[in-house]
Amino acid sequence: MAIHGDFEDAHGSSRLAGSNHCVELGVRGVSVLRFSWGRPMSGIVRRRWKSKFARFIQSYGVKFLAVELDVTPFAIYHWIRGASVPRPAHAKAIQRLARERGSRLTMDEIYRHSRTVREEDIKLGPVLPPRPAAVAAVAYSLQR
pLDDT by residue (tens digit) across 125-134?
A: 655 555 676 6
pLDDT in the model for residue 95: 97
Spatial distance between the Cα atoms of 30 and 32, rounded to a whole number of angstroms: 7
pLDDT class of 49 with cuts at 50, 70, 90: confident
Please give the distance of CA 108 from its chain centroid, rounded to a whole number: 19
Q: Is the pLDDT assigned to residue 41 strictly greater than 50? A: yes
Tens-digit pLDDT profile for residues 57-87: 999 999 999 999 999 999 999 999 999 999 9
pLDDT higher than threshold 80 for residue 89: yes
Strands (E), the chain: 6-8, 13-16, 22-27, 30-33
Sign of CA dihedral 69, 16, 11, 79: negative
Q: What is the mean pLDDT of the chain?
A: 73
Q: pTM of the full predicted structure?
A: 0.58
CA distance 84 to 115: 10
